[in-house]
Amino acid sequence: MFLTSTDQSLLNGDRGPAAQMAMRILVTMARVYGAERLLDIESAHIDGCLYHGDSGIDFAQKLVDGGAQTAVPTTLNVGAIDLLHPEHFQGTAVQAEKASRLMALYQKMGCQPVWTCAPYQTTQRPSFGQQIAWAESNAIVFANSVLGARTNRYGDFIDICAAITGRAPDVGLHRTENRRGQIVFHLQKIPDRLLEEDVLYPVLGYLIGRRSVSKTPVIVGLPSTAAEDQLKALGAAAASSGAVALFHAVGVTPEAPTLDAALQQRPAEQEITITLEDLKNERTHLSTVPDGKISVVALGSPHFSLDEFAQLRPLVQAHPPQTEFIVCTHRLVLAALQQRGWLKEFKELGVDIVVDTCVVVTPIVKARSGVLMTNSGKFAHYSPGNIGFQVVFGSLEECVRSAAAGRVWRDQTLWEE
């Protein structure tokens, strides 16, 4: 593998032991990937700040002790505790201390403490074609698909190594030829109303993720008016049920002005038709129990945007929750809610707003077991395994009205032909 003089200097320890260790790890992984060289990156997003065990703290501490500093603008994914509202944490004092210590270590390395799985909603928004090294599955798929930036799926420890060195292996989705669509999904006779509804997108994403696995899907038939939050939900669900790191939506996403462009003028490997019946079946697949009593409603995976809060507000005003109701978001949205006077209003209505973390990576839900209802494909996928809750999936309105009733309420017209 070709190394530049700067790469070799880092390997030699000229910028200190932490940068040397980071470059050694990065070069080793690049060889595993089969990369012939490294490339410069413009930004990084770090998932390793989420506490899973003492090994994460040991690794971060070694980097800090070695003088590690990020070489590119670097944001932080969720941690395991809401630092602004620690009372939300339902774990032990020892867990809280370790989670906070790990988060502090990454700040010492120069990472920006946005603490969000949706850095693209903050000031860290890469431009089209920019090479980046992002971790966190939904951030990866959004950056690649919706923004047209270029990142592979980076995981814990490799993400911070890329941030410290400013380099990444020149393989995978960093390269144009690997970004071509492979499987084409044709939406057939989907009602116009449903195509405009937010609830469609996590369901469609979950179906596409399961059928694509790790191949790059192309979607034909989405409206050109699809909003960023809808595409966010689609990508997050596809990255949960499969290993999707990039999708193309013809006429919607930047690398797919046409189907030919998305396929890079080559034939598709496979073509699949998606009908309304397919979507109904997939919606059912997202729930693990029949409709009935619920214990908690959880929203915000990926983190809720200000636009999503604007949709939520009139719904909870009309139907105040009588069930535990949690919304996860980040600090910039929290500040915007406070500025508008909405934060106090949501609290008075019984909505718990959590920042810096989310309900499926740390103990936040007060109920110890039961049924969690959500409009998030990602929450629906991970809640049973991560926090032991059964799941019911529904639209935003269905979640709110169910929280008011204490049991699942359905809009029977949503999925009609």
pLDDT in tens, 332-386: 999 999 999 999 999 999 999 999 999 999 999 999 899 999 999 999 999 999 9
Domain boundary at 176, 210, 228, which?
A: 176
185 has pLDDT over 90: yes
123 has pLDDT over 90: no
Residue 194 lies in a domain: yes
- Alpha-carbon distances of 172 from 120, 126, 139, 231, 249, rounded to whole Å: 21, 18, 17, 22, 20
Residue 204 lies in a domain: yes
**Does residue 68 share a domain with residue 55?**
yes
- Alpha-carbon distances of 409 from 297, 323, 394, rounded to whole Å: 12, 13, 9
Query: What proportion of the chain, given as a percentage, has pLDDT over 90?
Result: 99
**Does residue 123 share a domain with residue 36?**
yes
Residue 411 lies in a domain: no
Nearest 5 degrees, angle CA 398-CA 400-CA 401? Answer: 65
- Alpha-carbon distances of 6 from 14, 17, 39, 170, 201, rounded to whole Å: 9, 15, 12, 16, 44
Task: Go through 120-159 and write b for each residue having 16 or more CB atoms within 10 A of its CB, e for each that does not.
Answer: bbbebebeeebbbbbbbbbbbbbbbbbbbbbbbbbebbbb
Q: Where do we find the tokens 């899907």?
A: 217
Gap between the Cα atoms of 125 and 114, Å rounded: 13
Domain boundary at 176, 210, 232, which?
A: 176
**Does residue 401 share a domain with residue 320?**
yes
229 within 8 A of 198, measured Cβ to Cβ:
yes
Domain boundary at 285, 309, 333, which?
A: 285
Gap between the Cα atoms of 321 and 399, Å rounded: 10
Q: Could you check whether the bond before residue 302 is cis, i.e. omega within 30 degrees of 0?
A: yes
**Does residue 267 share a domain with residue 324?**
no
- Alpha-carbon distances of 199 from 204, 280, 410, rounded to whole Å: 9, 11, 12
Residue 291 lies in a domain: no
**Does residue 263 share a domain with residue 125?**
no
Residue 89 lies in a domain: yes
Find how far residue 190's CA is from the centre of its chain: 26
Residue 321 lies in a domain: yes
Confidence of residue 116 (pLDDT cuts 50, 70, 90): very high
Structure tokens at 369: 């077991």
Mean pLDDT of the chain: 97
pLDDT in tens, 61-74: 999 999 999 999 99
**Does residue 164 share a domain with residue 38?**
yes
**Does residue 204 share a domain with residue 133?**
no
Return the number of other C-beta atoms located less than 10 Å from residue 295's C-beta.
18
The domain that contains 53 carries what CATH number? 3.30.499.10
Range of the domain at 92: 5-176
Residue 414 lies in a domain: no
**Does residue 167 share a domain with residue 217?**
no
Q: How many domains does the chain have?
A: 3
pLDDT in tens, 230-243: 999 999 999 999 99
**Does residue 121 share a domain with residue 48?**
yes
* DSSP β-ladder status, 324-329 and 296-299: parallel
**Does residue 45 share a domain with residue 141?**
yes
Gap between the Cα atoms of 398 and 91, Å rounded: 30
- Alpha-carbon distances of 366 from 78, 121, 300, 330, 348, rounded to whole Å: 20, 28, 17, 21, 18
pLDDT in tens, 14-49: 999 999 999 999 999 999 999 999 999 999 999 999
The confidence score (pLDDT) of residue 368 equals 86
Return the number of other C-beta atoms located less than 10 Å from residue 416's C-beta.
10
**Does residue 280 share a domain with residue 240?**
yes
CA dihedral angle for residue 228, residue 310, residue 363, residue 288, rounded to 10 degrees: -70
**Does residue 193 share a domain with residue 304?**
no
